[in-house]
Amino acid sequence: MRNIIVIISLAIFVCGCQPAELTPEKKQKVELLQAEISKIENDITTGEKNLFVGTGLIPTLQSARLEVDRLTVSLLRQQVAAIESGAAITISVPSGGIDVSAVAALESEIKEANITLHKTRAESSLYSGGAIKAMIDARASMEELTLSSLKQKLLSAKYGLFLPAITNSTEKKEQANASQPTKPAIEPVKPQVEQPQIEDPGPFDFRHVRWGMSPSEVKDREKATFVGDKNGTLLYTDSINGQKISLVFLFVDGKLWRGAYLLSDEFTNKNRYVDVYFTWVDSLKKKYGKPKAENTVWSKNLYKNDISNRGMAYAVGDVESQAEWETGDTSIFSKIDGNNFNISVGVYYSSKLLESSFRNKEKEREQSTF
């Protein structure tokens, strides 16, 4: 078992003695540490400006992240002070020096965490407010906290920072009764921050639920306005970008297999339906990228070249548009069509695995009628 023992001893001279001139290697290390400090302090300044006011999950997560960053800065400053004061710093490590594989693993984790955070922030930008955006922002705050902790671990691995372990109250009592090891001369800044825990932060397949969940599980998680339960289908009302929508959850054998947003707003100018649809499609493209398939099909050409009546073209069924994306087990399908002067606009999220079960059930139901 590889052990890394960090022993820090300080010798402070008060009789007018001057610290020895730093070697080029130590000067370079100080410069690197100062650069890290400056970078994290900029992050702290930005975080303080964007700090949510009030109480709740998001401000708690943001404050915890700032405390982690402040602790990291303090540890880095202590390292700089120790070097500049001429203190004797002895770091006993395996013959190979710094664990390169551990550093590489942390750098890889940080890269993935940055990608995840970027996607979450992009997802949040699709909403102007409401429960969905609040949930996504909470996830982003948790990801920021995780990222700060990973960066702290990376700096510890690279520069030999002393990071005390976080212990619960039981562990602290046990440690108090046990023999205590000699403490290092430089104590880390306290208090040590424990990361707050949130229940099931995701990821999710649709809103904040997963495919296969039961109706009761969906009801417990969904915060939109509940309308009713119709033949095993859960109905809610909500809004997206200011438009009223019906939110639908469908189940097969008691398992969630589809969720849908259906535009419920009504417009006198039928072109508004078309505007809403393509605004939704643009948002989906920003989130999921280029569609797997996208097309607009005209069955009649009466309004094909009449831009002012494009809404009417959809209302009478002369044209329909659709787009499709795939991610993991989820297929996403958007569509606008119409009939008898009524236009339907919707986005459908489905489990590819459970959709096949639904289709088989439908076939069995059709066959049973003969």
Q: 34-38, 60-64, 156-160, 162-166: which has the highest mean pLDDT?
A: 34-38
Report the C-alpha gap between 210 and 176 in whole angstroms.
44
Report whether pLDDT(136) > 50. Answer: yes
Give pLDDT, residue 32.
Answer: 86
Determine the pLDDT at residue 161. Answer: 66
- Amino acid identity for residue 259 in this structure: G
Residue 85 near residue 66 (C-beta atoms within 8 A): no
* Helix, strand, or coil (residue 349): strand
Higher-confidence residue: 287 or 105?
287
Tokens of 241: 């970008």
Residue 307 is classified by DSSP as G
Supply the pLDDT for residue 39: 87
The predicted pLDDT at position 94 comes to 38
Cα separation, 323 vs 14, in Å, equals 75
Cα–Cα distance between 102 and 352 in angstroms, integer? 38
Q: At what angle do helices 24-49 and 131-159 cross, to 10 degrees?
A: 170
Q: Residue 129: what pLDDT? A: 62
Q: Which among 224, 43, 196 is positioned nearest to 132, based on CA atoms? A: 224
Q: How confident is the model at residue 99 (pLDDT cuts 50, 70, 90)?
A: low
pLDDT recorded at residue 213: 94
Write out the two tokens for 138.
């909470």
Does the pLDDT of residue 117 top 80, yes or no? no
Higher pLDDT, 1 or 333: 333
Helix and strand totals (H; E) in the chain:
9, 10
Check residue 272 and give its pLDDT: 95
Q: 33 pLDDT exceeds 80?
A: yes
Could you give the CA distance from residue 324 to residue 24 in angstroms, rounded to a whole number? 59
In terms of DSSP H, where are the helices of the chain? 24-49, 57-84, 100-124, 131-159, 169-177, 215-221, 271-288, 310-315, 352-368
pLDDT, one tens digit per residue, over 323-366 is: 999 998 899 999 999 999 999 999 999 999 898 777 777 777 66
- What's the CA gap between 313 and 340, in Å, rounded? 11
Q: What is the pLDDT of residue 5?
A: 34
The answer to whether the beta carbons of residues 196 and 64 sit under 8 Å apart is yes
Give the model's pLDDT for residue 11.
35
pLDDT value of position 91 = 42
Residue 48 pLDDT: 80
Residue 81's contacts (CB-CB under 8 Å, 6 or more residues apart) are none
Region of 351 please: left (phi>0), alpha (psi -120 to 50) or beta: beta
Dihedral, CA atoms, 24, 30, 36, 42, nearest 10 degrees? -120
- pLDDT for 162: 58
Helix 57-84 and helix 131-159, axial crossing angle in degrees, nearest 10: 20
Most confident of 19-28, 45-54, 198-207, 335-344: 335-344
**pLDDT band at 207; cut points 50, 70, 90:** very high
**Angle of CA points 237, 53, 167, to nearest 5°:** 100
Q: Find the mean pLDDT for residues 134-138.
A: 72
Q: What is the mean pLDDT of residues 266-282?
A: 94
> pLDDT value at position 164?
52
Q: Whole-angstrom Cα distance, residue 96 to residue 12?
A: 31
CA 328 to chain centre: 17
Residue 204 has pLDDT above 60, yes or no: yes
pLDDT of 9 strictly over 70? no
Q: What is the pLDDT of residue 76?
A: 83
Cα Rg of the chain, angstroms: 29
pLDDT at 87: 56
Residues 126 and 128: their CA atoms lie apart, in Å, by: 7
* pLDDT the model gives residue 124: 67
Residue 286: pLDDT band with limits 50, 70, 90: very high
Lowest pLDDT segment from 33-47, 277-291, 320-334: 33-47
What is the model's pLDDT at position 139?
A: 78
Cα dihedral across residues 174, 180, 181, 184: positive or negative:
positive
- pLDDT value for 325: 95
Task: In whole angstroms, give the CA distance from residue 233 to residue 218.
Answer: 11
Tell whether the model's pLDDT for residue 288 goes beyond 90.
yes
Q: How many C-beta atoms lie closer than 10 Å to residue 135's C-beta? A: 21
